[in-house]
Structures are given as structure tokens and as C-alpha cells.
Amino acid sequence: MSLDKLSNPDLLTDLWIGGKAVPASEGGRFDVLDPATGQVLTTVADGSVEDALAAVDAADGAAAAWAATSPRERAEILRRAWELMTEQAEDLAKLVTLENGKALVDAKGEVAYAAEFFRWYSEEAVRAVGQLMTAPSGANKIMVLQQPVGICVLVTPWNFPAAMATRKIGPALAAGCTVVLKPASDTPLTALAMARILDEAGVPAGVVNVLPARRSGAVVSAMLHDPRVRKLSFTGSTEVGRVLLKEAADQVINCSMELGGNAPFLVFADADLDAAVEGAMVAKMRNGGEACTAANRFYVEGSIAEEFGRRLAERMQALHMGPGLDDGVQLGPLVNPDAVDKVDELVRGAVDAGAEAVVGGRRPADEKYSAGFYYEPTVLLGVEPGSPILDEEIFGPVAPIVTFDDEDVAIRLANASEFGLVSYVYTGDLARGLRVSEALDSGMVGLNRGLVSDPAAPFGGTKQSGIGREGGHDGMLDYLESKYIAVDW
């Protein structure tokens, strides 16, 4: 596959700073690979610390005017960005597939979801509501204003290169903030395409800046130590999140962190088994399993575990794997060779410890997959509680199944993780479903649903899965500061 698959292959591949494309200050560029073939798609400018500070300069120069822009005008620009994304959805989806690897059907879903953040926050931009009340003592009035937090550094991952960008840019712009987006090095092309769309939508120069860079640590650190930067929003691993929180502490920067997940998927014996398997396919296989919301640990009541595992294995084995742009493909490659190595190591460890791979469990043997970064859809039965594969995100098409025989045990196993992003529960008993949902230590729960993400809902986790919420009205509040004014009249 190559960029000639796009109707307009003339992509932005330089940095986007101050409303224009500019080369990297040191002249460097890096390769962007097609995960389906391992071949180079194109090269992208490799931003430096100097470029990062130039992007902050641009954001600073645009900040006052953008904050003073009327909420309605900001809203109309975001609405236009949604319209443009919708018009260009086919090309954007193909671009996501080319640099990320996911099947085109997944990429189309992502682009539609990503565009909705622009539409949602076009509607929220006019709802930064303050407050006015009389102090309990009666001595004065309490007036609370909502004001933009300031310049924001946004750091996004490779697994949803469109949606993770819009989920941050949308509320930031709605709130009146200017931003510097640092996209993942595996998938910078989609982020740069977002910059072009926002420019066409009418975003003023300097309000949105996009900085691809291989030296992620150095460029992000430089921005976090610039006193003009007031906000960090990061989506990525908990390990990197901890490092960035320490960096942000030096300047006491406001932080929103959407970190790792290790989602449990609980199936009780009274569940509709067909619905549970269907939900498992969505929760596990969306984006080929490369999602922080992916079901990572399956806890199934003992009396139905074998039947559930058999049905899930049949569905997984039937998936058509191949290059994401090929007709009928449902599962594309993983994003890079390291991702394949990690998944293979986790699966081999589980099998060596006694689990049975009832389907998959290996890299594909077929020669046609040899050039790309593929891993077979895998279902593991007989996984013991405490197995290493249950302790970390798999980030691949692998479903380990553990049995339980008691509701309290299921809850305890589900909560036995440092992560708490999302959980899934399938049961035919509504009281049990609500009781278990309340007991699960996670920021989100899918009750008889395999999909929870929605631009109108607050997305985020507990424990080491993060701080703050993205999406919904809460998502814009993360980019606003409350200012209290004591008033007499």
C-alpha cells in the first residue's frame, strides 16, 4: 500500500507552527512505516527542542486574541471542522489505516468518532457557565467566572491518531486555549491532516500547532519547563505518565492524564451468551485489541466458561486478517514489530504456564504475512488468576479466560489491578449488574455493552489509569479555571 491510495496524496509532512508548514530547524526527518508491509510511506519533519519552543511562541502569540474570541465564533469554527472531517472521511480513514495498520472499517469508525468531538465541543463552547450567588453571611456576592487555562501541550498516542487529537483539541479550543500537539511518531500524518483541516475551518494562525518529533522526551520536557505553558493533556502508558507528572511538577502545571487500562470483562451464567460473545468481540477486537479500553482479562462463570470460550474462539478464528485497505479485512497488522514481540511473549508465557491456545497463539505462518506486523487472533483457556498475562495491557488480539464461581470472587479478581479505566459486565439480572458495576473500581463500566466511548460522556479512569476526564461537559472543564470575584452592590 502507498499514499497513492488517497484521492489527494499531497500530505502535510512538515511541522505546523504559527499557521504554516515549516521544516525542522535541524533539517531532520524520520520515516513513517506502513505496518502491513513494513515499507516506508513517507518521511516527516523531526522537530527539535528549538522547534518546540517556537511552537510555544506561536501559541503564546495567539493566546490573548483567541481567548477574547466570542464563544459563538469558536463554536462555528469547530462546527466547520466537523463538516470538513465528515466530507473528507474516506481519505482520512485510509490515511489512518496506512500509518496505523487497522482495518479500514475500524478506521472509518474512528474518523466518525473523532469528528464528533469537534461537533460536540462546538455545542459546548457556548456553555462555559459561571456562577453568581450571595455569600452565606450576606456580606457580598460570590461571582465565579470560567476562563481558559492557557497554553496547552497535548501528547497523543498512535492507536487512535485522529480521535485522540480531536478529543483534546476540541475542548481546548472551545474553552479558548491555544495548543501544541505532539503526536506519536508512528502516526504523525493524521495529526498533520487535522492541522490542515482546522486551518481550513478558520482557526487563526498559532492557535493549533503540530510538532512531530522522534525525541519525544526532550521536546515535551522543554515545553513543560516553559513558564508560559499551563496545561498538559497526555494519553499513553502509565509508565510515561508518571515521568510526565514529575516533569510537570517543576512548574506546577495543570495535568490531565489518560493512562493505561487492564479492562476486566465479567460474564455471569445468567447472561445472554450470544450478546456476551458479541460484546466481547467489540470490547476485545475494536482496533485489533490495540486500545486502552480493550477487554484484557475475561472472567467467566465456571458453568458457561467452556461454551463462552468455544463461541468466542469461533468468532475470532473467522476474522479476515490482512492489509487494512484490502476488501473484507477485519483485522489488520499491529502497529510495529515491538508490539508483535510483546504480544507473542505474553502468550508464550501463558501457554508455558499451562493455558491452552484454543485458537491462534502465534505469529501467522503464511508467507503473505511475513513482511507485516501481524499476530493471529487468540483465545486462551485455563489461565490461572495471577498469571503475568493478566497484569498488563496486551494491546493485541488476545483473550485470556479465567473462571470464577462466586460474584464476590469475580469482583475481587476484576479489581486486583493497579489500573481502573473501564470494566465490562454481562448478566441477565439488572440488580446484579448495577450492584457489580458499583463495586468495580474503574472510571467507566459497560453494562451489557461492549462499547463505552462517546463524545458526550466523561471518559477516564481511577487508580493508575489517570487523572481527569475527557469528553462530555467535564472534558471542557479540564481546560478552564474558575476565578472567584467577591462583589458588593
**455 neighbors 116 (Cβ within 8 angstroms):** yes
Q: Can you say whether residue 320 is alpha, beta or left, with left for phi > 0 and alpha for psi between -120 and 50 degrees?
A: beta
**Residue 278 neighbours by CB distance under 10 Å:** 16
Catalytic residue among 99, 110, 116, 258: 258
Answer yes or no: 258 catalytic. yes
Catalytic residue among 99, 292, 301, 376: 292
Q: Rounded to the nearest 5°, which phi and psi values hold at 391?
A: -95, -15
Answer yes or no: 152 catalytic. no
**Residue 364 neighbours by CB distance under 10 Å:** 16
- Report the Cα 12 to chain-centroid distance in Å: 22
Residues paired with 167 in a beta bridge: none
Looking up cell 466523561 gives 458
Q: What are the residues whose beta carbons fall under 8 Å from the beta carbon of 79, sequence distance 6 or more?
A: 118, 119, 122
- Of 168, 111, 220, 127, the closest CA to residue 469 belongs to 168
Angle made by CA atoms 65, 71, 74, in degrees to the nearest 5: 70
Q: Which residues of 316-349 are buried (b: 16+ CB within 10 A; e: fewer)?
A: beebebbbbbeeebbbbbbbbeebbebbbebbee
Q: Could you tell me how many residues make up the chain?
A: 489
**452 neighbors 433 (Cβ within 8 angstroms):** no
**CA end-to-end span of the chain, whole Å?**
69
Q: DSSP letters of 244-299?
A: HHHHHHTTT-EEEEE----EEEEE-TTS-HHHHHHHHHHHHHGGGG-STTSEEEEE
Q: Which residues are catalytically annotated?
A: 258, 292
